[in-house]
Structure 1
Amino acid sequence: MSEESALVRSLRGAVAAAPEDVPLRLHLAELLLEAGQNDAAITEVAVALQHAPGDEKARELMGRAMGAPAPAPAPVQQAPAPAQQTPTVNPAAPAQEKPADARPGGFDWQAAEGEIRDVVPPRFVESPLRADGNDDPGDADAWEVDAPGTVRLADVGGMQDVKDRLEAAFLAPMRNPELRKLYGKSLRGGLLLYGPPGCGKTFIARAVAGELGASFLSVSVNDVLDMWIGNSERNMHEIFATARRQAPCVVFLDELDALGGKRSRTQHSGMRNTVNQLLTELDGIDAQANEGVFVLAATNLPWDVDLALRRPGRLDRTLLVLPPDAPAREAILRYHLKDRPIENVDLAKLAKVTDGLSGADLAHVCESAAETALLDSARTGTVRMIGMKDLLGAAKAVVPSTEAWFSSARNVAMFANEGGTYDDLLAYLKKRRKL
């Protein structure tokens, strides 16, 4: 018995080193079966059947481990079996009397599968993909569409200029179809939000969807690009097809400079074809079939966006989203401090000293101040509140993340402002004396 146990242990080690060696695993299972360890044998055979579903020895071992009767021998002239003998399958029985999953020998494989389902989980739970990596070319409902949200423009602190421009250029015509018809205002075209990173472009897009009572479909470059030829274009089409079915729906194209970069700088034909497909979908926004589909896009690098995307009827409305103003900074700070232990915090003063910081920078200020208070409490053993000293120290240590963006944008606004595209940016830079 000890020799057999040592052999089994050795075989277990060999199987662990070569898990796909089916004959070796079956040999182990056979030894386990002979030792009366049926459950362990079932586990090993089940794994072997995953690697080699048609292996006859594996099926035979599974049958033995599950207690199936031995296969009936060929019919010969013999005396009737005693009454107490285990019955065998009658070769002369009609074929329809066999269980649906029966195999020669009378073993019910469907029942066996149910027995081992909890022992060895299935290796695959998805349908096999086609050769091009897709399982259903027409399954546009696979895209996640968020239900109409509760976020409104009133939830966006400050930034009144941005709200006013959104209302005039986008929201008022959308919400007043009668006035739109009276004044001949076209719904054709979308809205491009641009500005430094971390200033709330995505949040504003969600607020617009909330104002319209529309579903929200966020799209990034990872959702569209595919390694298979033609799939990126199809993904782009399916996104808009989904939005049309879910109308009213806001399609939000995040990082448009990556999704719709200038084709003149793109060497890969697949990327150029994807931009072409996006142009085709945008051209259909005013068609009857696309009623209720509103397109918003955001980018930190508008000068890298293909010019064709910004022609009339496409993303022809442009809105600059700058770092939050004082009321917005106060609202952001209040939001990030509301669930933290604070005392004697002057938000107005804090908003004043954080001028120029983005929303992401302000969140970092609150996080750093909380970290300082936490470490101090850990050192002293006395829990203390977060105070103005912590917040002012954190604000002083944070370098505005927008500075690098403004350094690049300054050159564009001064020397590449064709048609007044960046007049808003130029005015802001002059006001801030950044020119």
Structure 2
Amino acid sequence: MKILIIGTGYVGTTTGLIFCELGHKVTGLDLDEQKIQALKAGKLHFYEPGLEPLLKKHIEAHNITFTKDTETAIKENDLIFICVGTPQGTDGSADLTFVKNVAKSIGQNLNQYKVIVTKSTVPVGTAELLTRVIKDNQTAPVPFDVVSNPEFLREGSALHDALHPDRIVIGTTSETARTIMRELYKDLHCPIIETHPKASEMIKYAANSFLALKISYINELARVCDKLSINVHDVSNGIGLDHRINPHFLKAGMGYGGSCFPKDVNALIHTAKQQGTPLLILEAVVKVNAEQPVYVIEKIKQALGGEVQNKTIAVLGLSFKANTDDTRESPSFILIDRLLEEQAIIKTHDPMVKSGASHQCMTIAETVAGADALVICTDWDEYKNLDWAGLKSLMNQPYIIDGRNMLDKEILEGVGFQYFGIANQ
């Protein structure tokens, strides 16, 4: 099939390359000239393991091209995937400005029957909205169908997730569109859920919100475990082995962040309020998550005798999770901003994120030199087995606050550190 991907960000580029792997021809459309030129040169504008070699492979094989020509791209392709951003509005709702603009362009340039697919995470009812916008902007009554086909990619493992999905969700009321979507995904072996577009749109929000709920639940439980001198790892293992619960997303830490969970939870809360049925559990999830970096700051203060003013704090990790350079809603920055407000001296390091801030250092050794405390904020593999004895000798005081519970407490204490984890007794 000839597939058009509108929006060449994280979701769009990954989706397009996966379709190339499945044997389809793909065009990536974006209005950002700099982004298009970088992609044509085989360079990603974000970090995702394994994706850049795939980009170069399919450029060389002429399976994927990139363009700014909206009219030609829409007219020459059979399937159109909308992969543009849906940022959070001031009221928590999803801003559909970019999605609506794409729909207008599709309507103006529709020349024959096409299936228009929303990959972007959009509120319930968006498929119906897009249908109206496209019809309103048509110059002639050309038939089309709108399908909801949400993505479930995890940053840091998107390539694996896309090639080995847990499920594929297809939301449409059209048998023609349903048949085309089945053919598109025929080589992927997983359950396919065929449903109404509204249900498909809700599935994406419900899935991300439930995972966020699990994270906030174990983080709040960890605070109680701290008070009772219980190792939260044991609790996580004990409940996670119950197949009804499973162990995923039950690791206590700094809280969730990134481009999806924060805005998706807030968007679902907003949708529910519009319907007069507030989601009280999710409102609590948001509150707990906002408090978790503050809880880590309390541990820093506990280590340093109650004050951080004029204390040097080394922060390892800026991305919201390992294996990505995404810092959107990262707990690290919440923690850093609060520490700066309390007049702490901050030094930071991240293997992939180059923030350009004056407090960022090139090496870990430079970051911890003269520090009164070291805080692990992102669980990068390279932070797991450092020369801790050597790093301790560079620090002013030997305090480690492990915001990800990723380090071996016994090893650290064995070289003279005082270790503070998240209920990691």
Output the TM-score relative to the length of structure 2.
0.22
Q: Give the number of the structure whose alpha-carbon radius of gyration is greater.
A: 1
**Which protein is richer in strand relative to its size?**
2
